[in-house]
Amino acid sequence: MVTEEPTKLLYKRVLLKISGEALMGQREFGLDPATINRVAEEVKQVHALGVECCLVIGGGNIFRGLAGASQGMQRASADYVGMLATVMNALAMQNSLEQIGVDTRVQSAISMQSICEPYIRRRAIRHLEKRRVVIFAAGTGNPFFTTDTAAALRASEMGCEALLKGTKVDGVYSADPKLHPEATHFTHMTHHDVLSRDLKVMDAAAISLARENKIPVIVFSIHKPGNFARVMLGEGKHTIIADAPPRAVNA
């Protein structure tokens, strides 16, 4: 009798960081329902593999704190407006996930209990254990911190085995591949490599926090259908930022 070889997952619990701009589709502003639904399907595929998933979504498709500050807003106020934009994106993603049968909870670092839960670490871990997708909104709850840093912080608090950065490109390159077609694609780098080369993968605070907690950062294209699931199996084109190569959790 021939038995099918079990799927070899590289990670059992992960956090996916998506920029707000990734949800715009072809629009110049706001949310594109078709794009949100497609990303939700990506998350559902990985969830169906048995991976415990949590998400952090940026708010740049609605409002960027730095942009507001550059136009005269007080920086802290601009960052708070940006945090509220991430809550809007989180609620939209929750709606799309639940419409396709994925139980989801939104937890906000800024209390707004009429529409979502406050962030409580132990409750969030329990949601993951109960096979719910948890979306962390409002960044860290503090101005002057990016959602990249919030993603690294929540990944550390949740005990995630990897932090995935879903972007427009399929990994880290030596230069912008759209402007420089000859740019080199890196399959593996260390956290120190990213910091020393000043590569704009995530902000330095996020990379440093991931490094300190020994969390690999995986950069891949969220726009290629099925890519999130492929990365969980060590397939597809992506870049792993880690001090050691991953090992399958059920090998």
pLDDT digit string, tens, across residues 227-237: 999 999 999 99
CATH at 157: 3.40.1160.10
- What is the per-residue pLDDT for 25? 86
For the segment 54-82, the average pLDDT, to the nearest whole number, is: 88
E strands present in the chain:
13-18, 52-57, 104-108, 117-118, 133-137, 162-167, 172-173, 185-186, 188-189, 217-221, 239-241
In the chain, the number of structural domains is 1
Please report which confidence band the pLDDT of residue 245 belongs to, taking 50, 70 and 90 as the band edges.
Answer: low
The residue segments making up the domain with residue 175 are 13-241
Q: What is the mean pLDDT of residues 1-22?
A: 78
Is 82 a domain residue? yes
178 within some domain: yes
Burial of residue 122 (number of CB atoms within 10 Å: 0-12, 13-18, 19+): exposed
Task: Evaluate whether residue 7 is within a structural domain.
Answer: no
Tokens 């939700």 belong to which residue?
A: 40
The model's confidence at residue 71, banded by pLDDT at 50, 70 and 90, is: confident
Tell me the pLDDT band of 251, cut-offs 50, 70 and 90.
Answer: very low
Mean pLDDT of the chain: 92
Q: What is the pLDDT of residues 172-185, one digit of tens each?
A: 998 888 888 899 99
Provide the 3-class DSSP secondary structure of residue 108: strand
Residue 248 pLDDT > 70, yes or no?
Answer: no
Prediction pTM value: 0.92
The average pLDDT across 153-157 equals 98
Q: Which pLDDT does position 72 carry in this prediction?
A: 83
